[in-house]
Amino acid sequence: MSIRIARIAVLAALSLAGAAGAASAQTPPPAPPAPPAPPANAPVPYVMGMGDLMNTLIQPRHTKLGLAGKAENWPLANYALSQLRQGFAGIAKAVPKFRGMPVGDLVDLALTQPLNAVEAAVKQQDAQKFAAAYDQLSQGCNACHMELDHPYVVIKTPDASAFPDQEFKPQR
């Protein structure tokens, strides 16, 4: 029986029960039907863990930010920085605590200052300040990894593009 048909049956039963008078008012209405059980072979939704989220949302954006800054493509660097910040905000909402530590607080402590320094360098279009700020950002990432017992996850300035289908040089 479909859920819609089951709802209609429940509503009809309630209407009939209401017409039955005061005697039915003392009996509680029937519980709504339970949703149908998924088929035995139904796929189980995959929930991304912290490593999945970092590898899919953060690392590519960190890399693109570094490549755009190195190429002095400031509009792209600004966009990549915005995407990186959004990625961290999304992860902090999706995984509020990791290994007992508050993710949002860790991101704030380790990365707010470096992200602001990167933003300032991008606005000034200063390649030297960008390189120093980007290095601070990578160090902030590594400090967080150390705090969370992942010292083997070491982030660095990219020395090659992992995105051969994207141009990082300014197009003007």
* pLDDT tens profile 65-124: 999 999 999 999 999 999 999 999 999 999 999 999 999 999 999 999 999 999 999 999
Mean pLDDT of 161-172: 89
Mean pLDDT of 48-62: 96
Q: Which residue has the higher pLDDT, 107 or 172?
A: 107
Give the tokens for residue 32: 């709504």
Report the predicted TM-score, pTM, of the whole model to 2 decimal places. Answer: 0.74
| CATH number assigned to the domain with residue range 50-147, chosen from the 4 options 1.10.287, 1.10.1400, 1.20.120, 1.10.1740 | 1.20.120
Q: Domain extents for the chain?
A: 1-45, 50-147
Of 69, 52, 27, the closest CA to residue 170 belongs to 69
pLDDT value of residue 8:
52
Give the tokens for residue 76: 């792209």
Name, in order, each residue with C-beta under 8 angstroms of 79's C-beta and a sequence gap of 6 or more.
Answer: 68
